[in-house]
Amino acid sequence: MSVVSKLFTVCALVATTAFAANGIHLPVYQYAGHDAVKAALTEYVMSEFTPLEDDPDVTIPVVNVIAMDYSKDGETLVWGSFSVYNYELRGDTLVSISGGEYPGFARLKRTGDGYEVDSFEVVGEKTKNTAAVKKALGKHYNTFKKIEGDVALREKIRAKTIADYVHSHDLAITKYQATGKKARTI
């Protein structure tokens, strides 16, 4: 047996043991809506902002679009707050173990059947650098601050995203719990 084959066998054994230890396997999050721009942004956020050091049962992104501008040449500009939340399943509750919020600006280009992110200017996670956030969000900064300050609205968007994930996969998950908060019913 080659070194590579032995390594593969060990990795498969470890993965099987980890799966058997917690007894769960949640499907990967995929945007299930019909908005092609949100689909492209969600895919980008999942690929770029999902932390490698955590080992969550599922990562759920929340794309909160603040403003969009469709140009004549097929380019779409999007300003927003983009978050990722990593969860472990404990009983029937998704418990947040980590995550991050990234305000920023994305430039998307039209593809045959949708969009793809061409460039993305993100401000560091929960930055205190107001100048950097203002630069990235431009004339949409005040709208961002208004939405960012509306905790109930942000939580409503997060809850809907989680509920969509749970319902689209017919999962027996009834609650989610943000870090340091009580569990909420989905």
Residue at 1 is within a domain: no
| Structural contact between residues 40 and 31, judged by C-beta atoms closer than 8 angstroms | no
SS3 of 115, please?
Answer: strand
Q: Which residues contact residue 113 at a Cβ distance below 8 angstroms, ignoring those fewer than 6 apart?
A: 36
Segment 84-101, tens digit of pLDDT: 999 999 999 999 999 888
Longest pairwise C-alpha distance within the chain: 62
Q: Determine the structural domain holding residue 85 and report its residue range.
A: 26-185
Residue at 16 is within a domain: no
Taking the C-alpha atoms of residue 178 and residue 75, their distance in angstroms, rounded to an integer, is 36
The amino acid sitting at 113 is D
Residue at 6 is within a domain: no
Could you say which residues of the chain have pLDDT below 70? 1-23, 51-54, 124-129
Residue at 160 is within a domain: yes
The pLDDT assigned to 3 comes to 34
The pLDDT assigned to 124 comes to 67
- Residue 87: name the closest of 4, 5, 22 by CA: 22
Residue at 11 is within a domain: no
pTM attached to this predicted model: 0.80
Give helix 141-149 / helix 130-137 axis angle, nearest 10°: 120
The pLDDT assigned to 12 comes to 34
Joined together, the tokens standing for residue 162 give 């989680």
Residue at 163 is within a domain: yes
Taking the C-alpha atoms of residue 145 and residue 66, their distance in angstroms, rounded to an integer, is 10
**Number of folded domains in the chain?**
1
